[in-house]
């Protein structure tokens, strides 16, 4: 029951929560009895659906339109949270956007917008959140494996996510005495509108080429990422701060030569062939 959930009576503000990971997280917090400030930029109808779901879960939800590129609108977003709830327990910075181009094709406006949306919005939002966390709280930023690995057309967003993770570390140290934990969740290839858009770019490698290279052999789900964000909000993660939790099915731990590229003599037997594997040495 919701009243027994870790989020019962807690208030969360999740940017970009009308769809994807943010939406899934809002639904889950509501099931735990939490209240949610649902932020959206354009999808008012979707945001209201999330608010309705939060109410059905036992919490209270409000939808607040705010473009996270605009500091004034960010301030208005947190003012709405203050007016409605008087405090904040969780701030999840989920909204993100950028241009996918080779570095030589990036214009100054591309660089400025990526900074405003992915770095400045997080820092300004976190500043506002801390002012509402009088009894401590949790801040989680959604990052990407482009923060620690390089791949085509992703430099503008990947570099921004790397900067975001650096901000997480600095905030964690500075705000630990306030009882506020700050962490990042770094997602791999996740089945979402964003990945669908990225892999639909002309000339991009197909998912059929990419997914077999991942040890898990598949895309992740928005729920799998949202579950890891939730862990960072739960009491069980109290001693975790300043960290980036990678949720990528093993993608960032591999490097060429890939296991599937070697010859048969070096390949380990698959599960269905386990009975044919050499027996272990006996004690005798």
**Is-catalytic flag, 52?**
no
**Is-catalytic flag, 115?**
no
Q: Which residues pair with 11 in a beta bridge?
A: 35
Determine how β-strand 137-144 pairs with β-strand 90-93.
Answer: parallel
Closest by CA position to 228, among listed 210, 255, 246 = 246
* Active-site entry in 10, 40, 90, 161: 161
* Active-site entry in 154, 197, 213, 239: 154
Residue 69 and residue 118 in contact, taking contact as beta carbons nearer than 8 Å: no
DSSP code per residue over the chain: -GGGSTTTT-EEEETT-SSHHHHHHHHHHHHTT-EEEEEESS-HHHHHHHHHHHHHTTS-EEEEE--TT-HHHHHHHHHHHHHHHS--SEEEE---------GGG--HHHHHHHHIIIIIHHHHHHHHHHHT-BTBEEEEEEEEGGGTS--TT-HHHHHHHHHHHHHHHHHHHHHGGGTEEEEEEEE-SBSSHHHHHHTTSTTPPPHHHHGGGSTT-S-B-HHHHHHHHHHHHSGGGTT--S-EEEESTTGGG--SSPGGGS-GGGPPPPGGGGGGSPPPPP--
Mind telling me the catalytic residues? Answer: 154, 161
């Amino acid at each position: 029951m919701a009243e027994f959930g870790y989020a019962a009576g807690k208030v969360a503000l999740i940017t970009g929560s009308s769809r994807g990971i943010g939406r899934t997280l809002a639904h889950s917090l509501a099931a735990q009895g939490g209240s949610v400030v649902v932020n959206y930029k354009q999808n008012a109808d979707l945001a209201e659906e999330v608010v309705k779901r939060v109410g059905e879960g036992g919490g209270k939800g409000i939808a607040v339109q705010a473009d996270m590129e605009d500091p004034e609108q960010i301030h208005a977003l947190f003012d709405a949270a203050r007016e409605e709830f008087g405090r904040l327990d969780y701030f999840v910075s989920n909204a993100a956007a950028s241009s996918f181009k080779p570095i030589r094709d990036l214009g100054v406006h591309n660089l400025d917008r990526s900074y405003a949306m992915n770095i400045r919005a997080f820092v300004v939002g976190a500043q506002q959140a801390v002012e509402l966390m009088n009894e401590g709280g949790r801040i989680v930023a959604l990052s990407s494996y482009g923060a620690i690995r390089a791949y085509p057309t992703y430099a503008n967003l990947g570099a921004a996510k790397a900067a975001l993770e650096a901000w997480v570390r600095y905030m964690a140290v500075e705000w630990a005495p306030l009882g506020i934990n700050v962490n990042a969740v770094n997602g791999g290839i996740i089945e979402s509108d964003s990945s669908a858009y990225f892999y639909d770019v002309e000339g991009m490698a197909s998912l059929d080429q990419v997914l077999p290279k991942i040890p898990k052999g598949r895309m992740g789900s928005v729920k799998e990422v949202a579950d890891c964000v939730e862990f960072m909000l739960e009491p069980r993660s109290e001693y975790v701060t300043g960290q980036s939790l990678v949720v990528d099915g093993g993608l960032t731990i591999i490097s060429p030569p890939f296991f599937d590229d070697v010859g048969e003599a070096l390949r380990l037997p698959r599960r269905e062939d386990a009975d044919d594997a050499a027996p272990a040495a006996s004690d005798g």
